[in-house]
Amino acid sequence: MEAYAIKNEKLAQDIVQKVGGRENVKYLTHCATRLRFRLKDPNKADMDALKALNVLQVVNASGQLQVVIGPNVGDVYDDVIKVGKFDFDSNNSTDDNSDKNTGIVSKVFDILSGSFTPWIPVFCGSGLIKAFLSIMTMVGWMSAKSGTYAILAAAGNAVFYFLPILLGTTLAKKLNVSPYIAATIGAALLEPNFTALIKGIGSTIDFAGIPVVLMNYSTTVIPILVAIVIYSFLEKFLKKYIPSQLHLLFLPLLSLIIMVPLTVMIFGPFGVYVGKGIATATTWIIAKSPIIAGLLIGGFWIPIVVFGLHWAVIPIILSNIATNGSDPILAIAMGSVWAASGAGLGVLFKTKNAQLKEIAASGLIPGLLSGVTEPIIYGIFFRYKRSFAYAIAMSAISGAIAGSLDVKATQLAGGIFTIPTFKPIWGYALIAAIAFFGTAILHWVFGFGEDEKLVDTTTETKKENNQYTNEIDTVINSPVEGDVVSLKDINDTVFSSEAMGATIAVDPSSTSIRAPFSGKVIKVFPTLHAIGLVSNEGVEVLIHIGLDTVNLQGEGFTAYVKDNQSIVVGQKLISFDIENIRAKGYDPVVLTIITNQADVQQLKKHANLQQHVTTETKLFEISSK
């Protein structure tokens, strides 16, 4: 696993450098697939250099620099935080002055994104729990009156019920004010003694002689958003006039004693009425022309997601659900999720390129399970316009059908297991099937713009008379003499699964590593157990000597080249002591790995299992893009 960690940390270092360094990063968060940077000076980011890294895509949207990583974004995020020595939990993690040149629209989208992003995975998980309970009670396997149901229902309902608290916390962090005071303001709206005063619609009490209309604030979004925005101005005002020595006591005291009554009297009811107005307007528009509305929402939803504009719609969806118990927008938009997943399935079965198969599979699974489509969008749609067109067409068609059937969502959730949370279930299942299978079939029947003669990168040796459609750019020889061994016998899942790229393993019988091609040294690792190379044609290779040999700290290794040095094929790079490696309990197997396989159009392995190879034996033939 050491190689994976090194690769991740190197990527993190490169990302921090290319965004302008740690001092240029105002804020960083991540969603299911993207690193989301808020930069002090966006002009300092090197977009071309970022796109050249091992990432799916780089997007500037909604005032954010978004680096699309894929499902392993959490690991990369952790490394970026570590490498950059960031601390974004602090209230001082942002720079107020850096927003001066940012447009108001970008600010709004950035705030909404930063407020909702941390909770999206929880929404998905809670939605799955509610879907599970719906299925279990539907088939009679669980009683809605049982203790088991009550406990699981609490797990599924909590994030939605306590939205005023949870959103208050993340919004406050985005606005650089105390998340704890903000959470307390939200909690006051849900305090049991206060909510017990609500006797019905239009119930009132008085505060210091002023009549107050009571509202149910559970599951609401807009009231707390309005309240915390106002609170952000109040806190800055109080900090300006209260001596810093008194902040600990008087800042929370005055904030709560001012904001809670104002929220209950003004901002809360205002937010509720705005939410009801939006819900009514949305329902009216879709009811007036459901087919056209569905066609437009469905057709444009994927581009909306690409630019991050969907964050502005999420509060509307949540408001509709809180007000009416259901929302038509999400039901219509979900057709795009099924279409993107269908594209993943279509590409998976249509392509012969192993790297593209991997991208399709890694996008298909999260799409089906949780409704996350960014891996498909950036890994396939941005590369193949025909695939993008298929998905948009099927999204529009399924959206029109959803509108005509009055399909609605009762929860903010996606994925195959949340189908029971939509109504009517049969209507949603129908549009899901149309979008999913329709898009997959279009890929299968008409193709998606890929060269149909791409060569598979499986380890079986192809016949020598198989010809590529493009000229071979790079031949990679074995860097060491020895016998080819099966990757299944390699006791490291990163290498055996070829997670870092196409790999061939050789059990060495010589003690010299020689250049497999002419090119340049990228990096000689400090412990000398690995070396990174790049060919003159741009193919990047990692030669890794032994498993876990990093622990030897260079003992028994000698390097004959240094970083950035030009090399010629056959040149001696490193020598190593096989017997010392074995004596220390390590496997001396030498691994040759194509680390930038995503930039390779065609790749062919030549080595057979148990074949004896020399440094003149061809391991790979490669055509670059």
By annotation, the residues acting in catalysis are 31
Extract the tokens encoding 3: 């190689």
Count of beta carbons in the 10 Å neighbourhood of residue 238: 17
CA dist 401 and 440 (Å) reads 18
Extract the tokens encoding 456: 């598979």
Residue 28 has phi, psi (to 5 degrees) of -145, 130
- Element holding 259 (H helix, E strand): helix 247-262
The answer to whether the beta carbons of residues 423 and 326 sit under 8 Å apart is: yes
**Pick from 566, 522, 561, 528: which is nearest to 546 by CA?**
528
> Which residues have a Cβ under 8 Å from the Cβ of 195 and sit 6 or more positions away?
216, 218
Residue 91 has phi, psi (to 5 degrees) of -70, -15
CA dist 347 and 437 (Å) reads 12
The three-state secondary structure class of 365 is helix
Extract the tokens encoding 388: 């993008």
The secondary structure of residue 202, as a DSSP letter, is T
CA dist 115 and 232 (Å) reads 14
Location of structure tokens 């299944």: 488
CA dist 389 and 339 (Å) reads 11
The three-state secondary structure class of 140 is coil
Question: In 327-424, which residue ranges form alpha helices assigned H by DSSP?
Answer: 328-350, 354-370, 374-376, 385-404
